[in-house]
Structure 1
Amino acid sequence: MDSTPVYVEMSQREKVIDKPIALRFDFPEYSLPVRILSGMSLDEVSSEKIRSIYTRKKPRDIYDLFFLIKMKGTKFNREMVDKKLEVYNMSFDKESFIEEIKKQEDYFNKALNNIVMEELPDIKYIIKVIGSWLD
């Protein structure tokens, strides 16, 4: 049996913007009861990641956004991003956002090599993918 912990973040600070999605937690191998939780759409999670890149400055947020774009096909929603940034009296600007990512370029590999289990993509490729997604 795998004993890897799974963390679930729950916040009541802000309301979910997009229609919440139902998430079924059903893991019979752990003898846990089945639970249905309400969660954010992946497009909204992407908007949260953009806000985090501006405000939290953790390389994992860059990787998470890249993963959501490449593996989950999330869509960029400028209006939703601006709503997320309102809390900080900010609005989205592509150039300043890409600059925020570039500020973490030197630290990116060091911060993520022990977290990401697969080969870590080059940060320049990640920036290119995110930049294209924002167009």
Structure 2
Amino acid sequence: MIPLIEVKEKAAEQGVPETTVIKDYALSWILKALYQLSGSLALKGGTGIRKAYIENYRFSIDLDFTLTKQLDLKALLEEAAVLAREESGIEFEGKIAVRSSKSGYEARLPFKLYYRYPMIIKIDATAPENELIVLPLERRKLIHPYSDHCEATLLVYKLEEIFAEKTRSLFERTRPRDLYDVWYLSKIVNLEAAVPLIARKLEFKGIELKIERFVEKKEAYRGAWYSSLRNQLKNLPSFNQVYSEVEGLLKAVFRKPRRWMNAHLYIGAVAAKSS
């Protein structure tokens, strides 16, 4: 376990609350335990980006997985909590709540670290039948930017597939972190490979390709931009810049229907290259 002073220094350096750093630290240890026990969790979302691809990416304090096969999630979390407690000294104790959700399962994993009050790690696990994983999953080393040794190999979505799901999320919900992630990832992923993935993801969920659905939520994104992201990164880019660039990207994509129609050809080539 790292000393509290390291948490305080990291929080000051990154411009986020201490609680954000504490959760990020605890996430590493529970991820290590989970992947020691199971190979059926495909990590995705913001935590997938931060813990597997980009050190010092925005903080993400929840865990998002797609299950590659059915499993007893509560039993797995209970076993992982014991293992993580033994290996890290973090008090992963208390009742682990798991309930069914629209997409699969939602869980709440309590822990205590440095302070008396418990903190909660929220976990969303999508059932295999409720999500389409197109590209081969990656095995990547856990990024753990702290002084103790927490080493693990994670099973995680490719960045292009994370980008595609984040883009789909813009048409499903209104969460500023999705907008930020699409904006950031659009600058580093292979867009030629990612665009047809977006088509497949939207098609799987039965979501229409209507740019108006994104545009009509502009003010809702604006209203929640600062309050939602201020505890996740130090230098928050301006909303107008991010929204404008993402809107331009989406309009460019939707203007090229031929690319959407040939999605299966693009995906086949990308998958073959990756395997």
Please tell me whether residue 81 in structure 1 is matched to residue 183 in structure 2: no
Aligned-pair identity in percent equals 20
Question: CA separation in 2, counterparts of 1:26 and 1:125?
Answer: 29
The AA in structure 2 aligned to 1:129 is E
Please tell me whether residue 97 in structure 1 is matched to residue 214 in structure 2: yes
Question: CA separation in 2, counterparts of 1:26 and 1:126?
Answer: 26
Q: Closer, same or farther in 2 for the Cα pair 1:108/1:26, shift >3 Å?
A: closer
Deviates more, 1:42-51 or 1:88-97: 88-97
Question: CA separation in 2, counterparts of 1:106 and 1:99?
Answer: 13
Which of the numbers 15, 21, 26 marks the counterpart of 1:5?
Answer: 26
2:241 alignment counterpart: 125
The AA in structure 1 aligned to 2:140 is L
Q: Indicate if the aligned counterparts of 1:82 and 1:91 stay in contact, CA closer than 8 A.
A: no
Equivalent residue pairs, number: 132
Question: CA separation in 1, counterparts of 2:138 and 2:224?
Answer: 34
Deviates more, 1:35-44 or 1:100-109: 100-109
The AA in structure 1 aligned to 2:164 is S
What SS is found at the alignment partner of 2:140?
strand
- Higher strand content, 1 or 2: 2
Please tell me whether residue 17 in structure 1 is matched to residue 134 in structure 2: yes
What SS is found at the alignment partner of 2:216?
helix
Question: CA separation in 1, counterparts of 2:186 and 2:218?
Answer: 15
Please tell me whether residue 111 in structure 1 is matched to residue 228 in structure 2: yes
Tell me which structure has the larger Cα radius of gyration: 2
Note the C-alpha offset of 1:87: 4.2
Note the C-alpha offset of 1:83: 2.0
Note the C-alpha offset of 1:41: 1.3
Q: Closer, same or farther in 2 for the Cα pair 1:105/1:75, shift >3 Å?
A: same
Q: Indicate if the aligned counterparts of 2:139 and 2:154 stay in contact, CA closer than 8 A.
A: yes
Q: Indicate if the aligned counterparts of 2:164 and 2:198 stay in contact, CA closer than 8 A.
A: yes
The AA in structure 2 aligned to 1:5 is A
Q: Indicate if the aligned counterparts of 1:25 and 1:37 stay in contact, CA closer than 8 A.
A: yes
Question: CA separation in 2, counterparts of 1:22 and 1:102?
Answer: 39
Return structure 1 stretches of 4+ with deviation > 4 angstroms: 26-29
What SS is found at the alignment partner of 1:55?
coil
Deviates more, 1:104-113 or 1:7-16: 7-16
Cα RMSD of the aligned pairs, angstroms, is 2.7
Structure 1, unaligned runs of 5 or more: none
Please tell me whether residue 30 in structure 1 is matched to residue 85 in structure 2: no
Note the C-alpha offset of 1:26: 6.7
Q: Name the TM-score, length of structure 2 as normaliser.
A: 0.41
